[in-house]
Amino acid sequence: MSSSVPSSGARRVIFVLLPAVNLLDLGGPAQVFDVARRFGAEYHLMFCAATPQILSVQGLPLGPLAPFPVPGPEDLVIIPGPRLSEPVPGQPWIDPATAAWLRAAYAAGARLASVCTGLAALGEAGLLDGRRCTTHWGSVAAMQARYPKALLQDAVLYTHDGPITTSAGIASGIDMALSLLEREHGPRLTAQVARYLVIYLRRDGVQTQASVHLAYRSHLHPGVHRVQDQLSQHVAEKARLDRLAALANMSPRGLTRAFKQHTGLTPLAYQQELRLELAAQLMADPHLTLEAIAGTCGFDDARHFRRLWHARHGLPPSTARSTAP
């Protein structure tokens, strides 16, 4: 069930399949990374297990499955959640060979991510001590009892702690996969993938929604999405309302009304937010003057940029720059 031979430089996404795996735990994240490939991200999906074939908890046979490869530092390892039996004290909850391979992947520098009860595989591998993590709400108590040194978080969608990411139950694996994708490829591609999958972007309740590219995407209006895509891809260009309206197959007045209804902003205000976010990224470069940043982002001049920045952040951009870590 592995995909075609990876292209040079493609990152391996290795799905570790356990007996009685839940299909949505597997299919959701796999779909995210597969769609990401449509938009240019270089991923090679692999589906591996300790045995050539397993049976999902829903009764679907899965195989032939690849054996575990030699892990590397660029690998992303995802463990979809299985249906677990009641733990027996002193007895392994997960196949010891799988746990040993996960330890080797961790030691090699791979990023490991679990969905739902896939957390048990990380626990059996000894990778949860002192680490913030989460799982399905119905399994929190059992996991905490089994792995008392783990810092179990309840009521969150997913957590990142160093090279290990964990998510709550079932559909939250999609949220986790989108978060991992955003870390590697940024919010624009992530928004494209989420839109293609027709899902809402959610955060974990601990981290804030930092990017304007994602913050205003929790709607399903296709015309507004097209305008958002256009503005995101041409941040510095002057946007004429009549052309944006034509792109959305709407009148200028209709677009403004729909855009405000679905995002809370006018198209102009949305573009200004995009420009301010780009400016914040450029300000990390000490070689760029504020005048150069203003021009690159499409502001009329540095005074215009300073005024909008101050209105948005409550302090001048020069002050924000001097106090940045």
pLDDT digits over 51-99, tens only? 999 999 999 999 999 999 999 999 999 999 999 988 777 788 899 999 9
User: In the listed set 149, 164, 184, which residue is the last one of a domain according to the structure?
Assistant: 184
| Residue labelled with tokens 């006018």 | 266
**127 falls within a domain:** yes
**196 falls within a domain:** no
Q: 211 is written with which tokens?
A: 């990017």
> Is the pLDDT at 325 greater than 70, yes or no?
no
> According to the model, what pLDDT value does residue 240 have?
94
Q: pLDDT category, 205, cuts 50, 70, 90?
A: very low
Report the amino acid identity of residue 301: D
Closest residue by Cα to residue 228 from 271, 193, 165: 271
Nearby residues of 269 by Cβ (< 8 Å), 6 or more positions away? none
Query: What is the end-to-end Cα distance of the chain in Å, rounded?
Result: 46
**236 falls within a domain:** no
**234 falls within a domain:** no
Domain range for 295: 270-323
Per-residue pLDDT tens for 240-253? 999 999 999 999 99
Which CATH number is 119's domain given? Answer: 3.40.50.880
161: helix, coil or strand? strand
322: helix, coil or strand? helix
Count the domains in the chain: 2
**206 falls within a domain:** no
Q: Specify the pairing of strand 158-161 against strand 164-167.
A: antiparallel
User: In the listed set 184, 211, 243, which residue is the last one of a domain according to the structure?
Assistant: 184
**Residue 320 and residue 229: Cα distance in Å, rounded?**
29
> According to the model, what pLDDT value does residue 276 have?
92
> Is the pLDDT at 6 greater than 60, yes or no?
no
**Residue 156 and residue 203: Cα distance in Å, rounded?**
9
- Long-range CB pairs of 128-133 (<8 Å, 24+ gap) are 128/164, 131/161, 131/162, 131/164, 132/159, 132/161, 133/159, 133/161, 133/164, 133/166
**Residue 321 and residue 325: Cα distance in Å, rounded?**
9
Closest residue by Cα to residue 232 from 275, 198, 186: 275
User: In the listed set 134, 167, 184, which residue is the last one of a domain according to the structure?
Assistant: 184
Per-residue pLDDT tens for 251-265? 999 999 999 999 999
- Tell me which of 170 and 74 has the higher pLDDT: 74
Q: 14-18, 48-52, 92-96, 147-151: which has the minimum mean pLDDT? A: 92-96
Closest residue by Cα to residue 268 from 299, 313, 290: 299
Per-residue pLDDT tens for 181-199? 989 998 888 888 988 887 7
DSSP class per residue in 53-76: -EE-TTS-EE-PPBPPPPP-TT-E
Contact present, 57 and 117 (Cβ < 8 Å):
no
If asked whether residues 173 and 277 sit together in one domain, one would say: no
Residues in the chain: 325
> According to the model, what pLDDT value does residue 199 have?
78
Per-residue pLDDT tens for 137-146? 889 999 999 9
Average pLDDT of the chain, as a whole number: 90
Composition of the chain by helix, strand, coil, percent to 5: 45, 10, 40
> Is the pLDDT at 4 greater than 50, yes or no?
no
**Residue 107 and residue 101: Cα distance in Å, rounded?**
10
- Average pLDDT over every residue of 98-121: 97
> According to the model, what pLDDT value does residue 91 have?
83
pTM: 0.74
- Average pLDDT over every residue of 155-182: 91
**192 falls within a domain:** no
